[in-house]
Amino acid sequence: MNMVLGRSAARTSGLLEVRDPDDGSLVGTVPLASIADIDAALAAAVDGATVSGSLPVHRRIAILSRAAELVLERADRFATSIAREGIKTIREARAEVGRAAETLRLSAEEARRLHGETLPFDQRPGSENKVGYWMREPIGVIVAITPFNDPLNLVAHKVGPAIAAGNAVIVKPHSQTPLTAILLAEALADAGLPSGILQVVTGRGAEIGDRLVADRRVTMVSFTGGPEVGDHVVRVAGRKKLALELGANSPAIVLDDADLEPAASAIASGAFWAAGQNCLHVQRVIVQRGVASRLRQLLVARTGRLISGPKLDEATDVGPVVSDAAADRIMATVDEAVALGGRILVGGSRRGRHIDPTFVDALPRSSRLAREEVFGPVAGIIEVETIDEAISVANEVDQALHACVFTRDIGAAMRVVREVEAGAVLVNESTDYRIDAMPFGGVKGSGLGREGVPFAAREMTTTKVVVLNV
């Protein structure tokens, strides 16, 4: 366990090897936390919450701002760590480093904005002599459980707002990508974060996750991952605040009047960034029949230019999927779609953990690819006649995080905005677009609450009312 950034004694039950999913080479080892380690971390977090809550706002701002600077100063180290232990190419990893620094900067700015308001008590007869206000207070101890696909920025999205709001936070990174989270914790310590406010515990979620989530001293759990584990978190957590981001099957609607060249570029980028292992991945292309043939040609051309290869090669566009099991599952999803009547438009091949960027044409709407999150470099194409049909198809799935529409008609665009069920609808932009200040989260089965620094910081506070009888 890395308790208080590895500075406290740990009673670990062994070591966990971190291996490159591309070639299986050993990247590093981390302690395999025991239940005793988790209990010690929870006890330390309670003390850390007291320290964090009393930390002046100017100190929180200074620490988070300095941490952002350190992330950029150590950008090469962070990018290499992201690429080696995870699934991103080195160019994708560098982009994530820049975003993480921005997330920390936004968190520093948000620390000064977490304030309350005065209340006019004389709105009620008999309360003319009362004055008061409400204010925000830290919620306490937050457990943050993060996935493998963004091992730096998604950690920053939970840790930065938690510190800005004056909380203690225990991070449980994905067991396949713990090293980058430790580097971030080190940067925050070097920026002056007092001991106990941030801890990173490493190990297998199946062994230690329930103890972390269920403990009554934990006041909030922030989880990013799959719906099955998310449902388990809900069952185990008990009475505490939850923030859950549980994935998506994002639709891109292309109407007959769309500008097809930029639409195809945005869709291909959104479908295959991080080898499709991205909750905002374009998975269903819902296209009106009048432009379907031309859009297919453009998507094939753009997909064919993508280079799959070693992650550290500057020329590589698409890296591997995270495991053999993931590759098996993704290819089984493609095979099922083809067996039900779909056809491979481009891609469809596998070499180890590398899956060629793939579009399945005539995607059967009953297939898993059309209804569930694939979390891989695969998308399907569904032809429709009308905008009514496009909206209906877009809304068929349970997970609804981001959706997008490509059109020149503002009226049609706004109809999609109103009628498509999603946490965000983007017009003439991929579902994969996000800035770190925007509210981020979905509806239906995509989760609970909102991330995005200003919104997460508020989720990580509670309000207190003060009334003065003068």
Which of 1, 147, 47, 52 shows the shortest CA–CA distance to 460? 52
Of all helices (H) and strands (E), which one includes residue 92?
helix 90-111
**Three-state DSSP state, 107:** helix
Q: Exposed, middle or buried, 351 (CB in 10 Å: 0-12/13-18/19+)?
A: exposed
Nearest to 145 by CA among 68, 78, 72, 237: 237
Distances (CA, A) of 434 to 38, 65, 323, 414, 450: 34, 22, 26, 19, 13
Strands (E), 307-377: 343-346, 350-351, 354-355, 358-361
Q: How far is CA 59 from CA 49, 55, 183, 394, in A?
A: 15, 6, 21, 46
Q: Catalytic residue numbers?
A: 245, 279
- Selection from 143, 150, 220, 226 nearest residue 445 by Cα: 226
C-alpha–C-alpha distance, residues 142 and 162, integer Å:
8
The DSSP 8-state label assigned to residue 87 in this structure reads S
Strand 141-145 to strand 220-224: parallel, antiparallel, or no bridges (unpaired)?
A: parallel
DSSP letters, 123-171, are GSTT-TTEEEEEEEEE--EEEEE--SSSTTHHHHHHHHHHHHTT-EEEE
CB 279 within 8 A of CB 287: no
Sign of dihedral through CA atoms 320, 326, 332, 334? negative
Strand partners, 350: 355
176: CB partners within 8 A, 6+ apart: 18, 21, 85, 86, 148, 322, 323
CA distances from 128 to 118, 183, 230, 464 (A): 14, 55, 48, 21
Q: 132, 142 in Cβ contact below 8 A? A: no
| Cα–Cα distance list, 152 to 72, 88, 93, 221 (Å) | 12, 12, 9, 18
**Residue 36: count of CB within 10 angstroms of its CB:** 14
